[in-house]
Amino acid sequence: MYNGRDMVLLHIGHEHLSRATSFSDFLTKWELSPYVLIPLTAILGAYLVGSWRLRSRTKYPTATGARDLLYFGGFATLLLALVSPIGVYAGDLFFMHMVQHLLLMMVAAPLLLLASPMANILWAFPQGVRHWLGGTVNRSGVLRRILRGATVPIIAWLIFVVTIWVWHTPAVYNAALASEGVHALEHLTMFGAAVVFWWPVVGPAPIRSYLPYPMRFLYLFLALFQNIILGAILTFGDAPVYSHYENAPAHWGIDSAFDQQLGGILMWIPGAMMYFTAMAILFFAWLEQEERQSAKWQKAQEARRRYLAQMGAHTNLPDAGGPNA
């Protein structure tokens, strides 16, 4: 509940905000809920402590700058989605809710996976707990078996798509906006489904992805296709698809019909561009892999030619111990 100072807001799902008319109305409302801030602080603290411990245990410098930037970028995206005014106005504006979902699923999840932070986070725990947790991700560990099963490409794809479509059905979507607990469950399951979905594409430790690059392109293209379908349904559907927005204030003059169209377009076009961006990055990674393999093959061929040349030179030498010596 808003405390009157326009700085701290615990936005309960079924309560609408007062109508915003200026950009300052947007900037002054933040979701400073302990239920959000405490887990996020714990996640960041674990990574920092674990990273410090890992670096202090080796005398050799470790090239972790890029991974740190990826992790901090993913963490900042989580903050932007869950703490900033985007999260506050997501309860009143459908397009803000779509921005929030895109940040969680299409930006934060892949960035955190690219950082491959599991080892850093494990090292934040005391030795006994760390060994126990490490045992769950070794080759026979229960967590590793669960992750390996969930990140099988067809299973990961289905988890991701089903999660998106279920949460966007009118009854479930309205229930999430009417209850803070259900809303939190929505965010947790959508973010978790996104992590599972991006795992076969990124392949962080401890489960590397051996999915060939052409199959990764197909995997992303099929996800892009279903995203376009859902975005088109929302863009051209009769408003409001979600009854929660019928009585929402027209912030900045945005009525429910335009709000729904804008949200569908955001899912459709920027969402599609995120998939295309991922495919472009994969394409360059594929080219780099092919170049490395080509260079390795050429090096092996050169070594083979040198070996055959040396063997040929030895076989052409006169036999000093023969009968004609």
Whether 235 is covered by a domain: the verdict is yes
If phi > 0 it is left, if psi is from -120 to 50 it is alpha, else beta; for residue 308 that is alpha
Q: Decide which of 24 and 157 is more confident.
A: 157
Could you tell me which of 90, 185, 204 has the C-alpha nearest to residue 137? Answer: 204
Could you tell me which of 173, 225, 220, 231 has the C-alpha nearest to residue 194? Answer: 220
* Rounded CA separation 290/67 (Å): 23
pLDDT in tens, 239-261: 789 999 988 899 999 999 999 99
* Rounded CA separation 317/85 (Å): 83
Average pLDDT of the chain is 88
**Among 20-34, 143-157, 188-202, which stretch is predicted with the lowest mean pLDDT?**
20-34
pLDDT band at 303 (very low <50, low <70, confident <90, very high): confident
**Tokens representing residue 288 in the block:** 């780099």
Q: Decide which of 167 and 288 is more confident.
A: 167
Domain that holds residue 265: 23-124+147-314
**pLDDT at 223 exceeding the cut of 70:** yes
Whether 134 is covered by a domain: the verdict is no
H runs (alpha helix) in 109-179: 109-114, 118-122, 127-136, 142-150, 153-167, 170-178
Could you tell me which of 205, 227, 216 has the C-alpha nearest to residue 106? Answer: 227
242 neighbors 170 (Cβ within 8 angstroms): yes
pLDDT in tens, 143-162: 899 999 999 999 999 999 99
Please give the tally of structural domains in the chain.
1
Cα 176 from chain centre? 22
Cis-peptide into 240, omega within 30 deg: yes
Whether 51 is covered by a domain: the verdict is yes
**Among 199-203, 221-225, 243-247, which stretch is predicted with the lowest mean pLDDT?**
243-247
pLDDT band at 314 (very low <50, low <70, confident <90, very high): low
**pLDDT at 10 exceeding the cut of 70:** no
Whether 9 is covered by a domain: the verdict is no
**Among 59-63, 196-200, 277-281, which stretch is predicted with the lowest mean pLDDT?**
59-63
51 neighbors 120 (Cβ within 8 angstroms): yes
H runs (alpha helix) in 6-64: 23-27, 34-56
Whether 157 is covered by a domain: the verdict is yes
If phi > 0 it is left, if psi is from -120 to 50 it is alpha, else beta; for residue 176 that is alpha
Whether 220 is covered by a domain: the verdict is yes
**Tokens representing residue 42 in the block:** 């714990």
Count of CB atoms situated within 10 Å of the CB of 296: 10
Whether 130 is covered by a domain: the verdict is no
Whether 5 is covered by a domain: the verdict is no
